[in-house]
Structure 1
């Protein structure tokens, strides 16, 4: 196995474990057992557990950004629904890692993971602006879109913990939330409402 393939294998083992428990509860022994390697081999590729946690969580955010980058063409609502469905899929697949990324005060939060989360948020806003054909959004439109990304994050965190809303309803509800927020924004931003 190449060094990069071995690193990827260790990251995949960590992410697999993050699917069932919070990253801060996963130990080096858990990871080496899942990857079927020795502790010395683990430390050959990662000088610390923390470095592996950050790399693994970066994989989650890269997955979110990649999912947003490959959208089908079509009406804005269909494109947004597809994007939200992709976010739900990635968040669900890496449930514990996603929760750890967004949970305030997580013991594994770093400036690097915060920057990765901001990258996902910024990409989400860019996607919506592109879908709506808005090259020069007003400050109020930008504020609306940034607030909506917070709604999505909060909804996903709640849904991942409770699952009391069927998955097939969640993405449509979130897109409808954006539509309602933009309608309200248009009422307060008449110059943009015409566009």
Structure 2
């Protein structure tokens, strides 16, 4: 097995373990047992659990950035719903890792993990700016988009911790409607804050 494949194996083992317990509850022995490797081999790739946590959480952030997209054509509401489906699928599969990423008080939270979260946020805001035809957003537009991303994060945390209620589709559609409602308020206050597809022309398509 190549060094890259072995490292990926250890990261995958950690993520699998996060499916049953919080990252801070996972120890080196748990990972080596799950990956069927020795402690000595583990320490050839990671200095300890903190470094592995960062790598594992980073892989979740990278998956979000790689998979969440908004094409430049077609109805924005449908595209946004599709993007949220992907987002909810990824965080649903890695729920404890995602919660650890967002919880600044978590013992696995570091400057690196905070930067990962910021990277995901910036990616989503950039996608919305490009899709909305606003490469240079006004202050109110930027507040609106960043505020919506914060709403998504907070809502998804509650959703994960409350047993995924409401249903996936209901949460997705509610989040889509929230963005359009927020954009509508922003446009009413700032006529220069138009997106290429205005909220009034959109309705949730699902």
TM-score, shorter chain, exceeding 0.5: yes
Q: Deviations for 1:33-61, whole angstroms, at most 9, x for unmatched residues?
A: 11111111111111111100100000010
Deviation at 1:77, TM superposition (A): 1.4
Do the aligned residues in 2 keep the contact of 1:58 with 1:116 (CA within 8 Å)? yes
Aligned residues, how many? 195
CA offsets, 1:134-193, max 9 Å, x none?
Answer: 222211000000000000000110111112201111111101100000001111112324
- What is the aligned partner in structure 2 of residue 40 from structure 1? 40
2:131 is aligned with 1:142: no
CA drift at 1:70: 7.2
- More helix by percentage: 1
Question: Corresponding residue for 2:183?
Answer: 182
Task: Decide which moves more: 63-72 or 164-173.
Answer: 63-72
Q: Tell me how far apart the structure 1 counterparts of residues 134 and 56 of structure 2 sit (CA, whole Å).
A: 34
Secondary structure of 1:118 counterpart: helix
RMSD: 1.6
* Structure 2: gaps (5+ residues): 197-206
Q: Which runs of 5+ in 1 are unaligned?
A: none
1:61 aligns with 2:70: no
2:114 is aligned with 1:86: no
**Distance in 1, Cα, partners of 2:72 & 2:84:** 13
Runs of 4+ in 1 over 6 A off after TM superposition: none
Q: TM-score, normalised by structure 2?
A: 0.90
Q: Is the 8 A contact 1:72 1:79 kept in 2?
A: no
